[in-house]
Amino acid sequence: MRTGTIGRGLGLATALAALLTGFSVAPASAGRAAPDPAPAAVAAPAAFTHPGVLVSRPQLDFVREKVRAGAQPWKGAYDQMMASKYASLTRTAKPRAVVECGSYSNPNYGCTDEREDAIAAYTLSLAWYITQDSRYATKAVELMDAWSAVIKDHTNSNAPLQTGWAGSSWPRAAEIIKYTYSSWPNAGRFATMLRDVYLPKVINGSNSNGNWELSMTEAAIGISVFLEDRTSYDKAVAKFRGRVPAYIYLTSDGALPKTAPGSGLDTRDKIVNYWQGQSAFMDGLSQETCRDLTHTGYGLSAISHIAETSRIQGQDLYPEIADRLRHALGLHAKYQLGAAVPPSLCGGSLKDNLGPVTEVGFNALHNRMGIAMTNTQTLTEQRRPAGTDNLFVAWETLTHANNPG
């Protein structure tokens, strides 16, 4: 497809969270936005937390307890995952030395295979942790070993995005297996693959549509955690802090949306064109809303994933982006639920579907921070269990529904 620390003290994070919670009296689709809190200095954790990419050990323990108790929605989400092709113990990896992905995955030489093997490795790692059946861990290791033995590069126009998608799923799986399973002799080789093949493609970001850079940044954050690479982690967080305000508009931004550093968007016409021709801006509007909801969902999902990983690592980025994310989720959920689209928004018509992307952000903002999100809550609960987009989002009702970890 084409689109494109412990550094703060707990007191500051708590204060910021409390400030944002003060805006929680209105649904996510209502109210005037507050300015972004001033970002703290970038500082990777002195010691990384493992497993710590998207899901932590306390979160995994919570899920295992709920599934074993037969509690909903987790048991239904688990059953959905285990019935999928990604949990198969007979899966055969399909690695390639060079994965070539053009625009809209045309050509598609290994693109689908790589993304799906990465999702399968993550699925199997979750299955291992929940069941403690070593067959699932062994199969996850087999898939990761197959790719780390072969892949050398990603090429063609969609190479950065493809690397971002697959590179978001691989570290989730690797973190769970390395830190909760007893045997992975080739873990070092897998780390070398992430360092040499994936990280260089994603760490410098992209000036394409915002979901590109956000997905690439998600991969860079996850890889940095697995590699315990503090320099790359800091660089990726800096990219994130520049991109999120340029992806989600708040009225406090002024007459025009903010622009990402280095974007070259220095005139109104350029900015409006980059925002898919939309010239009327409202709280929660995404740079890709008027393109379609699917690509918007990719961006919002990556934002949630990055913030979730940062929280696990002790540098909670949610307070910095909470107002933007809650408005964006609420605005898009409102129309996904069937509200009439006004003529001032994308000419009165929105395309496609957000996908299974609301659980992580909703759990963080509503359940942990106490922000009311009426539209997002309705959409999230209606669509449970959230499955997979077959790209980089998978099983988030299972991992994040009402999860306090």
Segment 238-247, tens digit of pLDDT = 999 999 999 9
Return d(Cα 4, Cα 275) in angstroms, integer: 13
Would you state the pLDDT for residue 42? 62
Which pTM value belongs to this model?
A: 0.90
Would you state the pLDDT for residue 104? 86
- Chain-centroid distance of CA 333 in Å reads 17
Would you state the pLDDT for residue 21? 35
Would you state the pLDDT for residue 25? 29
Return d(Cα 159, Cα 80) in angstroms, integer: 31
Would you state the pLDDT for residue 40? 53
Residue 277 three-state SS: coil
Would you state the pLDDT for residue 103? 92
Q: Is the pLDDT of residue 2 over 70?
A: no
Q: What does the buried/exposed string (b/e) look like for 42-65 if buried means 16 or more CB atoms within 10 Å of the residue's CB? A: bbbbeebbbbbbbbbbebbebbbe
Would you state the pLDDT for residue 105? 85
Q: Nearest 5°: CA angle at 93, between 395 and 144?
A: 70
Percent of the chain having pLDDT more than 70? 90
Mean pLDDT across 88-98: 98
Q: What is the dihedral of CA 136, 161, 146, 99, to 10 degrees?
A: 150
Mean pLDDT of the residues in the chain: 91
Return d(Cα 78, Cα 171) in angstroms, integer: 21
Q: How many CB atoms lie within 10 A of CB 312?
A: 25
